[in-house]
């Protein structure tokens, strides 16, 4: 399977399979996801919650994102690496966004950055695109706006909200966005958004009609036992498996069974 590039991002349908994306935050899991066939490794600011133990994504800094992006980039061989612009790193001005995005690409090694927001971000998307920074948009539930939205709530339920999402998706595409994440919206709204643009729409909690799907790695592997979104699916009981394995290690050390002769140097 050849490496995915920004130009290789595509709409699903016909002979095009849906895009598969997962979040990744370190070398080991990035390598495993890449080998499993994942198309996009998203270094999400969700690391604030699932790696750092924060209540929201808001405390994540640009330095955090550069560090984790660099780790992920070292672990992939073919997947496209996309890095989130964190809350305090792009909203002040397009120039601030450019400086932050340039660090994520030059120091972190990603090929694309993701930013949250619709119409207020159109100028920034155009500014970045004109300066050779590929951008992925993010509409619907935007976690950096959790307090403004009143919590982690489904978006686009009313006709006006749904129409606004469609318009904002088209605005982002016209500004130069190369792809779009659509989070926590009703299936019919996601279908309308997906059909309204020629760039791929990657859903998370947005139903099966998008051009691809993304999950938080810790949710997919059953490693994170905090907030569990309704739309997430666990493909294994990772937390239970880790506890069992480490419990076995504890028992063997305490009983003297580990290390055995084969684990020791002569």
* Tokens found for residue 89: 């790193």
Which residue, 106, 39, 44, is CA-closest to 70?
106
Phi, psi dihedrals of residue 110, rounded to the nearest 5°: -80, 165
Catalytic residue (one of 111, 168, 173, 183): 183
Sign of the Cα pseudo-torsion (39, 42, 46, 52, in order): positive
The response to whether 73 counts as a known ligand-binding position is no
How far apart are the C-alpha atoms of 182 and 243, rounded to whole Å? 34
Task: Identify whether 195 is a catalytic site residue.
Answer: no
The response to whether 84 counts as a known ligand-binding position is yes
Question: Measured between alpha carbons, how far is residue 202 from residues 100, 123, 179 in Å?
Answer: 23, 22, 8
The response to whether 233 counts as a known ligand-binding position is no
Decide: helix, strand or coil at residue 20: strand
Beta strands (DSSP E) in the chain are 19-23, 40-43, 80-84, 112-114, 135-140, 179-183, 201-204, 212-215
Assess contact for 115 and 90: CB atoms under 8 A: yes
Q: Which helix (H) or strand (E) holds 265?
A: none
How far apart are the C-alpha atoms of 22 and 166, rounded to whole Å? 24
The response to whether 45 counts as a known ligand-binding position is yes
Which residue, 25, 48, 40, 26, is CA-closest to 144?
48
Sign of the Cα pseudo-torsion (215, 217, 223, 226, in order): negative
Q: Return the residue matching tokens 């019919």.
A: 188
How far apart are the C-alpha atoms of 53 and 47, rounded to whole Å? 8
Give binding residues as ranges.
45-46, 84, 114, 116
Give binding residues for 3-methyl-2-oxobutanoate as ranges.
45-46, 84, 114
**Catalytic positions:** 183
Give binding residues for Mg(2+) as ranges.
45, 84, 116
């Amino acid at each position: 399977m050849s490496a995915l590039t920004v130009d290789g991002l595509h709409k699903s349908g016909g002979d095009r399979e849906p895009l598969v994306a997962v979040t990744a935050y370190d070398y080991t899991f990035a390598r495993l996801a890449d080998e499993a066939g994942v198309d996009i490794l998203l270094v999400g600011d969700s690391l604030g919650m699932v790696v750092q133990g924060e209540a929201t994504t808001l405390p994540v800094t640009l330095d955090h994102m550069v560090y984790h992006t660099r780790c992920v980039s070292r672990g992939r061989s073919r997947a496209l690496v996309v890095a989130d612009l964190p809350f305090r790193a792009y909203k002040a001005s397009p120039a601030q966004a450019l400086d932050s995005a340039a660090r994520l690409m030059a120091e972190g090694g990603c090929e694309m950055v993701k930013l949250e927001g619709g119409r207020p971000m159109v100028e920034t998307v155009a500014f970045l695109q004109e300066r050779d920074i590929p951008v992925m948009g993010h509409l619907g539930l935007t976690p950096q706006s959790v307090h403004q939205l009143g919590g982690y709530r489904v978006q686009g339920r009313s006709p006006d909200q749904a129409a606004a999402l469609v318009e904002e998706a088209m605005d982002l595409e016209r500004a130069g966005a190369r792809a779009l994440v659509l989070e926590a919206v009703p299936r019919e709204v996601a279908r309308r958004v997906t059909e309204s643009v020629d760039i791929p729409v990657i859903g998370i909690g947005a139903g099966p009609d998008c051009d691809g799907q993304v999950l938080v790695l810790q949710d997919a592997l059953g490693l994170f036992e905090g907030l569990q979104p309704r739309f997430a699916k666990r493909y294994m009981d990772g937390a239970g498996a880790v506890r069992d394995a480490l419990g076995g290690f504890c028992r063997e050390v305490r009983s003297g069974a580990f290390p055995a002769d084969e684990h020791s140097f002569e």
